[in-house]
Amino acid sequence: MRTNLSMLVLALCSCSMYSQVGINTAAPESTLDVRAKNHLGTVTAQDGVLVPRVNSLSASGSVNGQLVYLIADAGGFIKGFHFWNGTVWQPLGGSGGSGDPTKDAWVDNIPNTLVELGSKSDGTSRTAGTEFVALDNGAVGIGTPAPDGSAMLDVTANDKGFLPPRVVLTNRTMQLNASTANATGLWVYNTGGTGNLPHGYYYWNGSEWRQVTSITTDPPSISTLNCDAAGLRPSSYTAGVPYSGMIRVPYSGGNGRPYTAGSSVTVNGLTLTLLEGILEQGTGYLYFKVEGTPTVSSPTTTTFPINSSVVPFWTGTCNITVGNSLATDLDSFAILGPLKATSDNGRAGYATTITTRDGKYSVRCFVPDGSAFAAVNLQIRNNSTSTVDIISNGHYLWSGAGGYMQNQLRLPANTWAGDNATSNSALIVATGQTATNFPSWGDGGVYASGMPEQRLYKWTAYDTNEKTFYSLEFMMGSNNPNGVANATTCPGGVCAGTKVFFKIDQITAQ
């Protein structure tokens, strides 16, 4: 029997002088060359090599490269070929995985309408904070089994951050790649560098990269707080009437840091609280909210003590005293636009008009049809049904300056009018606009040597019982001051080459 077995081995094996072994070949091409019965042909059921087969990999290997076959999943290892790499048993690619000995798998969680990553790589259950879920609505949770309903991506952690893509932005309109335009809302971290945009977080707003504000977290501080210059708006209050307002207090020595609100203080039923914000570098203002139902009425004062509790980043003390003035109402507004066709008071032309908030007066710049744009005049209209006398003062500014004033200027009812730059301490009756004349309020023509003038006007009713004062600022520009205003230069009744600015401050005192 031994003789027969030996002859069989000799028949199947061939050993060269270099200790190469061949099975089913007389010409081995390597240290061990095992060939199928049908070499390079179709495999048969008996072809192959069997390495040691085991049912557990709990014991460490002894030599790097040691190869075994695990016959079934065991202890976190998957059925298949494994080799000892000197530290752990490592699966061969394709033998139960791609090099990761895990039991990871996406699992349907039907009751919670989501799919989730199952067990950890060692086969044990996932611990809180290691979850990875995808809801049926597309929302994804990382580190949480229940992503917030307002988010499509909820990343939860208490010891790690989120790293967005890091890029180099060379200019504010840079496209990240040539094939796809930047999507509006795209978020990146720019690493900066010489000649590039400053480092920091940026987002694409549809036309350019905008930097998310970057402010140091150093503590805020100021050197002085001028409580004596505090101003309250509205400036007065009434006992028993709910009040809501603001106090502005100037400071110096600000260091540009953000700050939070301080403690509140209540006096006379009014509660003062610092509003959070960002300090200026140097001088600026702190803003305090004031709310409540006062127990006193102006001009009885209210004094708020200010200290490091009310302003946490200031170590000094002072008092803010308010309420000692009666109410003053300031209404400021402005308009900006081109001259448009009009025929008020019987004369056709082009104008832009502004009306005081109380509706009592209107002011316009007007140029008759066929006149040069530089010839525009200002005119004022008393919108009541009877004449009104005003006290008026006006100035025009260019490379020089000029002015005019009236101690008593009488305005006709509901008619565009002007004083034609007449100054007098006695009564002056304004000239009303007709179909043929062209009066001006102040100096005629709003251009000087082809350049626009600035106009400033102040007026109030002559009536001593009237408590309202008006301040007007004006300027007009034209791309062709010497051009003529007509249907050609103002097609459709709009003189597109002109731009008129009016601003009125209406101050009502007690």
From the list 395, 405, 394, 411, the residue with the least C-alpha distance to 463 is: 411
Extents of the domains making up the chain:
53-91, 106-155, 224-325, 330-508
pLDDT number for residue 202: 93
- List the alpha helices (DSSP H) in 328-449: none
Residue 196, number of CB atoms within 10 A of its CB: 15
pLDDT number for residue 111: 78
Instruction: Per residue of the chain (510 residues), give pLDDT as tens.
Output: 444 444 444 444 454 455 677 788 888 877 777 887 887 778 787 788 888 899 998 888 888 888 889 999 887 788 888 888 888 888 876 544 444 444 556 777 777 787 887 777 666 777 888 888 888 888 898 989 889 989 899 899 999 888 999 999 999 999 999 899 999 999 999 998 888 888 889 999 999 999 887 777 789 999 999 998 888 888 889 999 999 999 999 999 999 888 999 999 999 999 999 999 989 989 999 999 999 999 999 889 999 999 999 999 999 999 999 988 655 667 888 999 999 999 988 899 999 999 998 899 999 999 999 999 999 999 999 999 999 999 999 999 887 788 888 899 999 999 999 999 998 889 999 999 999 999 999 999 999 888 999 999 999 999 988 889 999 999 999 999 999 999 999 999 999 999 999 999 998 875
What pTM was computed for the model? 0.43
> How far is the C-alpha of 368 from the C-alpha of 398, rounded, in Å?
24
> How far is the C-alpha of 5 from the C-alpha of 10, rounded, in Å?
9
pLDDT number for residue 326: 58
pLDDT number for residue 335: 93
pLDDT number for residue 29: 76
Q: What is the DSSP string of 302-329?
A: EEEEE-TTTSTT----EEEEE--S---E
User: 3-state SS of 428-492?
Assistant: EECEECCCCCCCCCCCCCCEECCEECEEEEEEEECCCCCCEEEEEEEEEEECCCCCECCCCCCHH
